[in-house]
Structure 1
């Protein structure tokens, strides 16, 4: 048995259990066994189990919501380029963790406090994408509907656990971009997108 594990190791182990079995399966003793460390070493890094769960929520907020907002705010010379920046999130696990997003949504169904955090995060994502559309000339009403279309499509994609080869999904990006924006991306814009993901 190892004498200790770092804070990130405990958090990573809790993350894996959350994805595998849900929040109820996250127990200090279970984590200690998985990490092959003493249970007492957990308390060097976390006040209690709630503190660990709060850290998981913060990880989700920073990674998923934080990166999505950052992508929506990137400089773009056209609406299609801006939309493709946001769509980077769906194709780069370093920007957006779809499995974690799904796990958080399941967890929130039984945790009213987390549901409030989720509602705030969804509103922040919506506002960022709506603002992106408006910066590129769309009126408020159309920007709202298009932002909802982007978000609802992706949430549905995650919740339905759609499985398709990456080459197939990438082949549809130009069509998705046109659906979301009402504009057809240029060949150069698509080449830039593909260069980031192939």
Structure 2
């Protein structure tokens, strides 16, 4: 028989609670560790709570993929689509990748690790990467870059960032060091110099905020 505390926890848990717990398990231990019984134990609830929200484990894994796509691809696409200038768009991308409440690099890497052993997911990752590159390519084209240059520059900026996370470079640099590279990164990605007042405003914004990890 279930005690009242267990019943209360079962009823309070939401679908997002299960997805969040599964995401943590995926990042920490890989997709094979994302098991209903293990998650129920970690959440101190019964397996029955899981089935209020999901039909089976596959439905939970699909929800993880959907969260990754919604969070990490959509924020990039929206950022460059809304940019009014080249400078603002590139710096907005930098800001997205710095703020892990908006773009989750750990989730991105965990999905990519999982995709190495899952052919169907590998195709989804390829599609999402293509969507990201296409959005940035369209952004470059909007500000005067011809094709295929816009496409290649989009590939460079997107795939450089993936590698940056994969190699864990961020943990080897201070925020001050990263800001010191800002003009050089911008020139490398765009072939143009960034406006000094734009750089100053961007640095002032970051200086007022706690670094987001």
Normalised by the size of structure 1, how large is the TM-score? 0.94
Partner of 2:88: 81
Shift of 1:36: 0.5
Correspondence 1:56 to 2:82: no
Q: 2:48 aligns with which of 32, 40, 46?
A: 40
Identify which range, 174-183 or 81-90, moves more after superposition.
81-90
Query: Which residue of structure 1 lines up, in the alignment, with residue 139 of structure 2?
Result: 132
Check whether the contact 1:28–1:39 (CA below 8 A) recurs between aligned residues: yes
CA–CA separation in structure 1 for the residues paired with 2:113 and 2:142:
34
SS in 2 for 1:73: helix
1:98–1:189: structure 2 CA closer, same or farther, 3 Å change rule? Answer: same
- Per mean C-alpha deviation after superposition, the further-off stretch among 81-90 and 37-46 is 81-90
Separation in structure 2 between the aligned mates of residue 26 and residue 47 of structure 1, nearest angstrom: 15
* Distance (Å, rounded) in 2 between the aligned partners of 1:80 and 1:10: 40
Among 187, 191, 196, the residue aligned to 1:178: 187
The separation in 1 between residues aligned to 2:193 and 2:20, in whole angstroms, is 41
Which segments of 5 or more consecutive residues in structure 2 lack a partner in the other structure? 208-213
Shift of 1:120: 0.6
Q: Contact 1:64–1:96 (CA<8 Å) still a contact in 2?
A: yes
Confirm or deny that 1:108 pairs with 2:112: no
Who wins on radius of gyration, i.e. which is larger?
2
- Per the alignment, residue 8 of structure 1 pairs with 16
SS in 1 for 2:51: helix
Q: Paired residue for 1:95? A: 102
- Number of aligned residue pairs: 197
CA shift, 1:75, in A, is 2.8
CA contact (8 A) 1:80 1:184 kept: no
> Can you list the C-alpha shifts for 1:40-81, whole angstroms capped at 9, x where unaligned?
11000111100001000000000000000001111323x222
1:117 alignment counterpart? 124
Cα deviations by residue, 1:76-131 (Å, 9 ceiling, x for unpaired): 23x22221122222111122111111001000011111111101100000100000
Match of residue 162, structure 2, among 155, 164, 170: 155
